[in-house]
Amino acid sequence: MDPRRLAAAAAIAERAADAARAEIVPRFRAVSVETKSDGSPVTEADRAAERAIRGVLRAGFPDFGVLGEEFGEEEGHADPFWVVDPIDGTLAFSRGIPLFATLIALIEEGEPVLGLIDCPLLDERYVGWRQGGCRRNGVPTHVSQETDLARAIVSHGDPFCFDRFGKRAGFERMAREIPMLRGYTDGFGHAQVLAGGVAAMVDLDLNVWDASATRALVPEAGGRCASVAGPGASEKVGLVFGSPALVDQLLDWLA
């Protein structure tokens, strides 16, 4: 897809994120929580936001497919297709913690070519596309170029996800040897890497809608984003991303 069309798609993704904010923000700290069959939480805000996002994306690019966390894949496979997580960090949202995000990505021929991470309560939005750079609220962002784990803030997802991936030993080494290891989870944590404050992050046991925006955005912010395959036949994926030098070291620790 040429850069001009990607820029047009990014504008539509931003409109979709605006529509999601309109559904999410009024429900913050004012919504009931349900539990899905996989044990994860869901709220009416998740569903309303995804419906709003889908409506904008379909209107803007009716020939593109859509895959979302709450409502699955629309009939008929199309390429390119959008991948949507209306609230990444529903646990935080449902407990009144404002560190959650809306994730939108565009996949073409199996690769993410556009990503958006929107943090509604922080009024921060990261948008980027292939060969277009990454911007926060319109201003270019860059990942950290830190090379020393002793000086870096490094973030991680939930520790039990390391267990699911058979990487508990890697997590324990991180806990022992990284002085400023912090648990900034979900899309919020990913955004902090794009801004450079968090130098690198390890996030495992992700679905495609959790990982795709980050996979598109990190290289555009000058970083490295490496995938870690799940155990056995799992369709889940792990990501190690941020400063290229730190990603290399952390991958060695997880090996």
Domain ranges for the chain, please list them. 3-140, 153-254
Per-residue pLDDT tens over the stretch 50-104? 999 999 999 999 999 999 999 888 765 689 999 999 999 999 999 999 999 999 9
Q: What pLDDT is stored for residue 101 in this prediction?
A: 98
Q: Which residues have a Cβ under 8 Å from the Cβ of 46 and sit 6 or more positions away?
A: 69, 70, 86, 87, 90
Structure tokens at 158: 């939930």
Mean predicted confidence (pLDDT) in 5-12: 97
Q: Is it the case that residue 105 has pLDDT exceeding 90?
A: yes
Mean predicted confidence (pLDDT) in 193-198: 98
Mean predicted confidence (pLDDT) in 174-201: 98
| 216 CB-contact burial (10 Å; exposed 0-12 / middle 13-18 / buried 19+) | buried
pTM of the model: 0.96
- How many whole angstroms from its chain centre is CA 46? 15
Mean predicted confidence (pLDDT) in 172-188: 97
Closest CA to 240 of 140, 167, 142: 167
Q: Is it the case that residue 142 has pLDDT exceeding 70?
A: yes
Q: Does domain 153-254 have CATH number 2.60.260.20?
A: no
Instruction: Decide: 81 and 95 in contact? Cβ < 8 Å.
Output: no
Counting every residue written for the chain, the total comes to: 255
Tokens 């020939």 sit on residue: 63
- Residue 235: pLDDT band by 50, 70, 90 thresholds? confident
Helix (H, G, I), strand (E, B) or coil at 215: helix
Mean predicted confidence (pLDDT) in 32-42: 86
Q: Which residues have a Cβ under 8 Å from the Cβ of 18 and sit 6 or more positions away?
A: none
Whether the upstream peptide bond of residue 80 has omega within 30° of 0, thus cis, is: yes
Q: Does domain 3-140 have CATH number 3.30.540.10?
A: yes
The CA–CA distances, whole Å, from 109 to 20, 55, 84, 180, 189 equal: 27, 23, 17, 38, 27
Q: Is it the case that residue 233 has pLDDT exceeding 80?
A: no
Q: What pLDDT is stored for residue 18 in this prediction?
A: 98
Whole-number average pLDDT of the chain: 95
Q: What pLDDT is stored for residue 38 in this prediction?
A: 81
Q: What pLDDT is stored for residue 76 in this prediction?
A: 59
Instruction: Decide: 90 and 186 in contact? Cβ < 8 Å.
Output: no
Mean predicted confidence (pLDDT) in 169-189: 97
Q: Is it the case that residue 230 has pLDDT exceeding 70?
A: yes
Report the C-alpha gap between 75 and 23 in whole angstroms: 25
Closest CA to 87 of 210, 191, 215: 210
Instruction: Decide: 207 and 105 in contact? Cβ < 8 Å.
Output: no
Q: What pLDDT is stored for residue 144 in this prediction?
A: 98
